[in-house]
Amino acid sequence: MFGSKRRLCDQKAGLLYAASLVLATLLSPTSSTRANADPIADFYRGKTLRLIVGYAAGGGYDIYGRVFAEFIGKHIPGNPTVIVQNMPGGGSFVAVKYLYGAAPRDGTYFGSVAQTLALDAAMNEDPAQLDVTKLSYIGRLLDNVDIGYGRPDAKFKSFEDARQHEIVVGSTGGASTGYLAPAALQKFAGAKFKIVSGYGGSADVYLAAERGEVELMGGVGLTFATQRNPDWIAQQKAPVLYQIALKRHPLLPDVPPIGELGLTPEGTAVLRAIAASSEIGRSIITTPGVPADRLAALRKAFQDMLQDPALLEAMKTRDIPIFGAKGEELDDVTREVMHTPQKTLELAKGLMKN
């Protein structure tokens, strides 16, 4: 009798033990669950990321930076929040140096900084103190192609006309691509330009052309030009002599990039160095040292964001153009500029002093 009771107790104990094992198995992560875990999502979940804008609020870098902050969190695994901090100063180099030297290097800090970062760094910064090739690009929201163009009634039609006859060019300050490009074309491509510089911006150059003060607008943004007079560009009513870009923009397939106009290899190198910044445009950069898997995930998220119907609809409503590119392509542009021969950099720097 006692043996029967003992066997019954042993059976109950065995059943209880087996049940506990089943429960523990159900409650604990299985190998399959662990295999399906996403370390990127785990890292970003619940985090607040920060975008540093190297300029004051309201400008192009700020506008596109805030577009990034508004939409990117939806596409990063873990759906983090992104906030914006403006950090103006030094042509955005205050922000660049913060991202390079002080910000966490873990994929939680980003920057919207000068498109001329690589050229500025190559000419003025010590690579031992600031190696901009270590600042990886996430992606581009918009290229920033500037063009040299005239009014529909202009006496010139092509760049060859500029090599034959003097043309009065309106431009902004001596450090802008709107000045550097016509100055370089004058020196290295045979253009007979008479440059009138110091206008405050594209709108001022445009008004100067309307008043007859200048004949060619030396470096006006393609976006500005198409918004101001859409038919001038789309219907080829206005002569566009050159585009400040490394390759031909889809809207301007017959207009030469300035790098195609150099008369010597040396001059071509200077023109390409000036043009390279257009490829960067309004892009987002991150700190050095971001783990490779996170950087890849951020770049994928950026490209997914560019296809997001909500973003595209918002940009259409706000009349803000988008023309994206991959971060890897922008890194290549930076490396190309940073390997510009010192003689070329000195020539480009010399143009800025004029």
Chain mean pLDDT for the chain: 86
Q: Please, what are the domains in the chain?
A: 46-143+281-352 (3.40.190.150), 146-277 (3.40.190.10)
What's the rounded Cα separation, in Å, for the pair 6 and 269?
A: 94
206, 148 Cβ separation under 8 angstroms: no
The pLDDT of residue 51 is 98
The pLDDT of residue 344 is 87
190, 163 Cβ separation under 8 angstroms: yes
Please give the average per-residue pLDDT across 20-32, as a whole number: 47
Please give the average per-residue pLDDT across 24-35, as a whole number: 47
Strand 137-142's sheet: what is its strand order? 81-86, 48-53, 109-112, 282-286, 137-142, 325-326
For residue 63, give both structure tokens.
Answer: 């506008």
Percent of the chain with pLDDT over 90: 56
What are the tens digits of pLDDT across the range 129-174? 889 999 999 999 998 888 999 999 999 999 999 999 999 999 876 6
Query: What pTM was estimated for this model as a whole?
Result: 0.72
